[in-house]
């Protein structure tokens, strides 16, 4: 897309961050990962550890009490947590997803009111765009917001909302002018304590079982007008701009899952013996490992490249191909995660198919990365449109 290739290699500070997060993940999060998956319980131990280390929402600027970490640092945090527990990696990932609309379009008052408690670890922030009949076609949403004096009254149902019920705050997209299509959608901050907010039962899922996915049900929820994010009618534009940044965090999650599976498979094939030799001595196995590592590294380089472009946009620069590269890295990394985790199960043979080993969990967790924040079919459509615009 672009001939502009800025330096995006992680700095010494980034690598120090990686070592810090990896140590925390291996000691404070990994021991609970299988239990979290088996029980479907929210990974409270992971949240507590991330908050204690100030790694739960590193993207929030210092002006609002956050660490002010750049987009690449945020990617590294998510990647390293996902390497041991995909469910837990959705804590920093969804905090960024939920707060990104405020960072892009919110008033200063909204930012100070809602970003500070997230930065302190007192609250989490989710994102409510999809609906039962509006998934890939998000602009066809039915949730309505009707003006009533100094407030808006919201009614509707949001579907597939990550960390719903655990998060305190929600960015909710709703139709404020039905006659204008996508230009009639606005964004609001909704508090779970607002009267009329409730949640559906947790979805019974293939993977990421420790991260609750529920409906957010809005019944005559009265939201003060000052809680609108940006101007009326700009919600869908903000939603798309948000995804340009947060698809990169899904790529980071996919990278971490894939790396965790490769790391485990490497250790296994060096120890497992067949025909009197370590399985790692067989050329067919070596070729599988080489392909897995090559694909992960390709996806990592594209993801880091996209993260740097995302950071440049947040600093006010024009980066016309951010939409392309963010879709590309999400699509590539998630496809790689699905393939690498499947290959890891294959390398462990019958053991890989059992819950006694983590690679089958990683394979189940990887699948969602090809689906949420835009299916990979939608990503390919987005990329094609960007190419054809040129």
What's the sign of the alpha-carbon dihedral 168, 67, 374, 134? positive
261 neighbors 363 (Cβ within 8 angstroms): yes
CA 166/CA 151 separation, integer angstroms = 25
H/E run at residue 224: strand 213-224
Burial annotation 331-344 (CB, 10 A radius, 16+ → b, else e): bbbbbbbbbbbbbb
Contact residues for 267 (Cβ-Cβ < 8 A; gap 6+): none
**8 Å CB contact between 255 and 341:** no
φ and ψ of 37, to 5 deg: -65, -45
Write down the catalytic residue from 45, 131, 360, 373. Answer: 373
Q: At CA 317, angle to CA 118 and CA 319, rounded to 5? A: 100
Let me know if 297 is a catalytic residue.
no
Contact 213/162 with Cβ under 8 angstroms?
A: yes
> CA angle 338-342-346, nearest 5°?
170
Place of tokens 């991260």: 211
3-state helix, strand, coil in the chain (%, to 5): 55, 15, 30
Q: Which residues are catalytic?
A: 373
């Amino acid at each position: 897309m672009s001939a502009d290739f800025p330096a995006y290699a992680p700095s010494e500070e980034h690598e120090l961050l990686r070592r810090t997060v990896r140590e925390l993940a291996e000691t404070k999060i990994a021991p609970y990962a299988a239990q979290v998956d088996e029980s479907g319980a929210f990974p409270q131990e992971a949240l507590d550890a991330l908050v204690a280390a100030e790694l739960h929402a590193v993207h929030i600027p210092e002006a609002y009490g956050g660490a002010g970490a750049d987009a690449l640092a945020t990617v590294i945090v998510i990647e390293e947590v996902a390497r041991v527990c995909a469910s837990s990696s959705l804590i920093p990932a969804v905090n960024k997803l939920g707060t990104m609309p405020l960072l892009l379009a919110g008033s200063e008052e909204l930012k100070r009111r809602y970003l500070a408690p997230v930065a302190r670890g007192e609250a989490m922030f989710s994102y409510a765009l999809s609906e039962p009949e509006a998934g890939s076609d998000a602009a066809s949403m039915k949730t309505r917001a009707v003006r009533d004096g100094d407030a808006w009254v919201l009614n509707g149902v949001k579907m597939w909302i990550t960390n719903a019920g655990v998060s305190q705050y929600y960015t909710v997209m709703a139709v404020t002018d039905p006659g204008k299509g996508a230009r009639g959608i606005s964004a609001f901050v909704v508090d779970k304590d607002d009267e009329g907010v409730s949640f559906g039962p947790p979805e019974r899922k293939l993977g990421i079982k420790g991260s609750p996915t529920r409906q957010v049900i809005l019944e005559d929820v009265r939201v003060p007008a000052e809680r609108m994010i940006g101007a009326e009618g700009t919600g869908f534009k903000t939603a798309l701009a948000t995804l340009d940044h947060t698809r990169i965090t899904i790529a980071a999650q996919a990278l971490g899952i894939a790396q965790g599976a490769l790391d485990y498979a490497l250790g296994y094939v060096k120890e497992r013996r067949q025909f009197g030799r370590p399985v790692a001595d067989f050329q067919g196995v070596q070729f599988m490992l080489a392909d897995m590592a090559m694909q992960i590294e390709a996806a990592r380089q594209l993801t880091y490249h996209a993260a740097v472009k995302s950071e440049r946009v947040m600093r006010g620069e024009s980066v016309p191909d951010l939409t392309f590269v963010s879709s590309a890295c999400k699509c590539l990394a998630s496809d790689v995660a699905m393939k690498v985790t499947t290959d890891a199960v294959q390398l462990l043979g019958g053991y890989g198919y059992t819950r006694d080993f983590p690679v089958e969990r990683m394979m189940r967790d990887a699948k969602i990365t090809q689906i949420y924040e835009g299916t990979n079919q939608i990503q390919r459509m987005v990329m094609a449109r960007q190419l054809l615009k040129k």
